[in-house]
Amino acid sequence: MPVGTQATVKAMTPGELREIGFGLILGNTYHLHLRPGEELIARAGGLHRFSGWDGAMLTDSGGFQVFSLSGLRRIGSDGVQFQSHIDGSKHEFTPESVMRIERDIGADIIMAFDECAPYPCTYEYAVEAMERTHRWAERCKVAYEGFDRLAAGGWHQALFGIVQGGVHRDLREQSANFLVGLDLPGYAVGGLAVGEAPEQRNESIAWTTALLPLDKPRYLMGVGTPIDILDAVERGIDMFDCVLPTRNARNAQVFTSAGVLNLRNARFAEDFGPIDPECDCPVCARHTRSYIKHLFKANEILGPRLTTYHNLYFYHRLMADIRAAIRAGNFREFRDEFTRRYRQDPETVEGDVLKNE
């Protein structure tokens, strides 16, 4: 899923997302609640109509943003009081209010309100955050069923639960078992990509997916680089969202089959080749690294437009290739070959994993 924080995938039109082939995009409940507000979105006919996107949508629960973006906050058993990062105004998220907000926004998939514990944190805090997440998930389910599982606009919504538990095997297992017991339409693995080592993340994913039902989607939140995605798919993950392709694009970082390049680099000034010679996207068909470097140097909007389009195309292609490889039964070979080529260019720089726009 491309990330459409404020009712737009930054620098893209809905038509371009369709053209690339995306069917599902993400919106951020925290941001949309603050601006323009879920009441306005509901009056516009829901987020799909408000933003002109005719595909499917998912909204996160706002939990991650409340903990990472907002000002002074107070966590209680009932919910979280916080201050807007935009104007300092005071707000409160409870499981019930988040369900109401997500109902009004009207995405097809909505996420239960959770607490994403920081990394590192004590084992005791990880337990506390996990248990709060479980109690909140139960309350979310009650609220969701109280709305007959329907968005304000009348269509069906699927509530996904979020497994927490940090990097601790016993907690991940306890959390997965608890949430599976709620019999929700899908499950997410939360609380990762917050600073832990890749090995810790991969283990935590594997402990969790081992307990999630095979017939329901498994969604790893906020991950990641192409290599991270391959690692997670190998461990049973089906769905991803990440700002990496879009945010890095706005810093002139592009994904190519040979790794990540930063087009601000002086060596691209007179490089009249495409971003990625292996890519068949319209940006690579028409524009050169030299031109895009110029656009970034001149602060032209077309710069981030072109790199965002290309990066999303690259990620979409990666996911399509992964699905094809799984169907063909040669995922491991695909992963090894992709990884070998992706790391061959010694001058590439791997982008930082940044979770939210």
Residues that bind its own copies (CB under 8 A): 6-8, 10-15, 35-36, 40, 43-45, 50-52, 269-270, 272, 282, 286-288, 290-291, 294-295, 297-298, 300-302, 304-306
CB atoms within 10 A of CB 298: 9
Is 215 considered catalytic here? no
Q: Least distance from C-beta 351 to its own copies, angstroms?
A: 19
Q: Least distance from C-beta 5 to its own copies, angstroms?
A: 9
Is 241 considered catalytic here? yes
CB environment 191-214: b (16+ within 10 A), e (fewer)? bbbbebeeeebbbbbbbbbebbee
Q: Least distance from C-beta 26 to its own copies, angstroms?
A: 15
Return the number of the residue (272 or 329) whose C-beta is nearest its own copies. Answer: 272
Pseudo-torsion of CA 123, 128, 133, 135, nearest 10°?
Answer: 140
User: Which position among 104, 231, 241, 276 bears the catalytic label?
Assistant: 241
Q: Least distance from C-beta 20 to its own copies, angstroms?
A: 14
Return the number of the residue (174 or 307) whose C-beta is nearest its own copies. Answer: 307
User: Which position among 60, 228, 231, 276 bears the catalytic label?
Assistant: 60
> H helices of 165-273, where?
169-181, 198-209, 226-234, 244-250
Q: Please report, as a single letter, which amino acid is at residue 293.
A: K
Q: What is the DSSP string of 304-338?
A: HHHHHHHHHHHHHHHHHHHHHHHHHT-HHHHHHHH
Return the number of the residue (172 or 289) whose C-beta is nearest its own copies. Answer: 289
Residue 314: name the closest of 344, 348, 279, 342 by CA: 279
Kind plus residue range of the DSSP H or E element containing 291 = helix 289-297
Return the number of the residue (86 or 210) whose C-beta is nearest its own copies. Answer: 86
Tell me the catalytic residues.
Answer: 60, 241
